[in-house]
A and B are shown apart, each in its own frame.
Chain A
Amino acid sequence: MTVEPALLAKETAAPRPKPGRTGRLGRDAGIIFGAAVLLLMTLIGICAPLLGTKNPSEINPAFRNRVPGIEQTIRNDDGNTTTFKYRMGTDSLGRDVYSRVVYGARVSLLIGIAVAVISIAIGLFIGLIAGYLRWVDAIVMRLMDGLMAIPAILLAIALVSLFRAGLLSVIIAIIIPEIPRVVRLVRSIVLSVREEPYVEAAIMAGTRTPLLLVRHILPNTIPALIVQGTFICANAILIEAILSFLGIGIPPETPTWGNIMAEGRGLFRIYPHNIFFPGLCLALTVLAVNVLGDGLRDRLDPKLARRM
């Protein structure tokens, strides 16, 4: 028996037509908005010294609790005067709120991105192993269940109080409660993908387990992890703000949106600007990250994409 060439010719693959362009822009609007706001915030954080700011920790006892837009004129030693405009007013120690908010973007974004990247890296590693090796699974997942049973904020507070307060301890304190979520997500994907015939074919081809995991199983988790990463990022920014607001986060000499608000708490009713501006930045950033995540989910999640 040989293959008939006439029949072979008929059996050509018809590439599936791409879905129409309608709705593409609507779905991408979220991604564009989210990415634009995040890019803007990142630029603000990086270029903080160039944006008309002064030292965010500089205390000015003579100029406390001033409203936004006020100007201070200082007579220098040589007789000239310089004028500094407090765009967002000053706080109860006379520090420039504008400078603090601009510098605060650095910490918030750094924490958001660091937590997202590190918790996904750790969670991916544990999840891959738990999903593929059955005997590891039982132990690891019970551990993760235990971690998830403790409220994330409480766990973070407990962890921060164990170390000296600082950027690193806050990052670690936020990462640990996030890991179980990533592990669960990765594990569930691994459990379904490992049954795919192409994975079994790779086993038959003698592919060793580490290579099998990296080559055939890991790529399937990437779209879900990108989406999950954006939500972790948003969540981390919020938790950092909560910890700082409670006074157990980053020490006050490093401005973060959370501790600026914490300082403004006492005089909130009289001078709302201390909370309003950092709160606005925080809300806008978290919204942008979430909208970006939603947009990416629509684009990358194969289940949703198939429905389009």
Chain B
Amino acid sequence: MQMTPNAKPVLDVQGLTVRLPGGADRINAVENVSFAVSPGEIVCVVGESGSGKSVTAHAIMGLLPPRQLTVAGGRVLLEGDDILVKSRAAMRKIRGARIGMIFQEPMTALNPVMKVGDQIAEVLDIHTKLNERERRQRVLDVMGSVHLPEPERMIDVYPHQLSGGQRQRIMIAAALVLDPALLIADEPTTALDVTTQAQILKLIKELRERRNTGVLFITHDFGVVAEVAHRVVVMQHGRVVEQGTTEAVLRRPRDEYTRMLIRSVPSLSPPARRPLDDSVMVLQTKALTKTYTTGGLFTARHDVKAARDVNLIVCRGETLGVVGESGSGKSTVARCIARLIEPSDGAILIEGADVAKLSPRRLRPHRKRVQIVFQDPYRSLNPRRSVGAAITEGPVNFGMTESAAHERARELMRLVGLDADALTRFPHQFSGGQRQRICIARALAMEPELLVADEPVSALDVSVQAQVLSLIDDVRKRFNLAVLFITHDLRVAAQVCDRIAVMHRGEVVEEGPTTTVFGSPAHAYTRALLDSAPGRDFDFGQFDAE
């Protein structure tokens, strides 16, 4: 990766300060931020949620919400031209033509009732005087350049007919159709699967090479940073704490916060794990199948096999990772095992008892044995009920007295690293990571045999993620729990799982010890997954000596 030396920067941000409205937790959303992007260079702005990285991007585009966030100082030079002082009309001319933008959610960024070709053509319609035929030709050209298959056919389809990756390619095509000098990408691959993400990252790298576009890339993912960035800007609480070349920042970080962030990135190489002392089987699924049937009375019936013949075993004290992309059926399997949904076929043996087909009444005694921790910490606690009520609900349901349950809740709160006196507080008074701790305490209150963790850290920042992962590992050891760990994140899986099952289109394609699956993957899909992991060649946290 080389930069074009001594080139005049496309984007030069100097002392940018954005003021927050009064009453917020800090005065400025972004304070005195300076960095530059040269032609053909990818600059990653990286930080956790609330670091001000998105506000910076929006300020550059002139898209701050009026009256709420105001630019209080600094200059933003686009090819030497200060765009902060431009009028709204002038900014409209610049956006799309000189600055291209892509956003995180490719579905909501596209208009669902407009053909994708027309959405790209709209940019041309606004900024150029091309006629209908020329416009169509330009759209076809740019769709080809982002490697969309059969542009002639794709130009006339609606967004819902495309996959997530294809939608993001359409977004990129629309952003690049006028050859802007600067491309701003705000978490463009966060909502995508890892294999799709790899393709999109490759496309962005290729496009900046071919067109010499400067790219400002906002991300929270150090894997992505290692993959694409020439230079890195690390932000925390609205300030730039460190910036430099990717090599310098990742290998020799000077700032303590940067070091902490990079150390928190889980490594892709699994650590050696001690073998299990005893192998008492807690969970065994036999040919577990879940079929969803759509249609019926008036439309053709259509069967979707969300999970097919899934055979899994989890022993006491062991963590089994179920890894797969969205739609692979990993969550369906987790929800079947927790019996939140009823499987269509197969058996689920919890300590030898089959719970797959039990009626709600007969199922109730088995509820205690399996507990689940959900992905979204903001929705998995009832906002109207205190944390204490959430943790004691289960034990009280099963006959524990209120005071004994409360005593246990206090114990569990200390165990998960929270203040026991916080039991009277409500969920909104806690951060995302703290809420996830509470959810773990709630699950433990039932004294389960099996803990199902359904993407428990995907919604958390990387530093918080590391803590929650270590907590899950901690309670597994302490209570000798069997853990079924559902994740899409290979790095997380490598760190916490004893064994891994890889799911693809409803089937388990490969299963084995973590070191084997990561070291010598047998199935082609597993290899594709591992090859797609961003920053796979980079060993995070191994800093060079000064």
Interface residues of A (CB under 8 A from B): 1-4, 7-8, 10-18, 20, 196-198, 200-209, 215-216, 219
Contacts and interface: CB of A to CB of B under 8 A. Distances in A.
Nearest to A7: B467
A13 B394 CA distance: 26
B340 A15 contact: no
B262 interface: no
Nearest to B431: A13
Contacts of A7: 260, 463, 467
Given A3-B467, A201-B442, A207-B393, A11 B434 contact: yes
Contacts of A206: 364, 367-368, 394, 397-398, 446
A20 B372 contact: no
Interface in B457-485: 463-464, 467, 469-471, 473-474
Interface in B23-55: 23-25
B327 interface: no
Contacts of B371: 204
Contacts of A17: 23-25
Given A197-B374, A198-B379, 4 more contacts: A11-B434, A12-B431, A198-B380, A204-B446
Contacts of A197: 374-376, 379-380
A18 B442 CA distance: 29
B21 interface: yes
Contacts of B424: none
> Top 7 closest A-B pairs, CB basis?
A205-B394, A1-B470, A197-B380, A197-B374, A206-B367, A17-B23, A198-B382
A202 B393 contact: yes
A8 B429 CA distance: 15
Nearest to A8: B417
Contacts of A2: 470, 474
Nearest to A4: B467
B21 A20 contact: yes
Contacts of B469: 1
Nearest to B394: A205
Contact of A200 (B374, B385, B434): B374
B397 A205 contact: yes
B439 interface: yes
B338 A204 contact: yes
Contact of B474 (A1, A10, A208): A1
Interface of B: 21-25, 260, 338, 340, 360, 364, 367-368, 370-372, 374-376, 379-382, 384-385, 390, 393-394, 397-398, 417, 428-431, 433-434, 439, 442-443, 446, 463-464, 467, 469-471, 473-474
Contact of B467 (A11, A196, A200, A209): A11
A18 B22 CA distance: 10
A2 B464 CA distance: 13
B526 to A, nearest CB: 26
A184 to B, nearest CB: 21
B423 to A, nearest CB: 15
B373 to A, nearest CB: 9
A189 B476 CA distance: 37
Given A11-B467, A216-B382, A201 B372 contact: yes
B439 A201 contact: yes
A135 B409 CA distance: 37
Given A3-B471, A14-B25, A200-B340, A219 B379 contact: no
A216 B390 CA distance: 11
Given A1-B474, A3-B417, A200-B374, A11 B464 contact: yes
Contact of B470 (A3, A200, A202, A203): A3
B431 A205 contact: no
A177 B464 CA distance: 53
A200 B370 CA distance: 13
Contacts of B398: 206
B384 A219 contact: yes
A15 B429 contact: yes
A204 B25 contact: no
A11 B372 contact: no
A10 to B, nearest CB: 8
B524 to A, nearest CB: 34
B350 to A, nearest CB: 13
Contacts of B22: 20
Contacts of A16: 428
9 contacts: A3-B470, A16-B428, A198-B381, A203-B340, A204-B367, A206-B394, A207-B397, A209-B360, A219-B384
Contacts of A196: 379
A288 B208 CA distance: 63
Contacts of A198: 379-382, 390
Nearest to B360: A209
B183 to A, nearest CB: 31
A83 to B, nearest CB: 61
A290 to B, nearest CB: 28
B393 A205 contact: yes
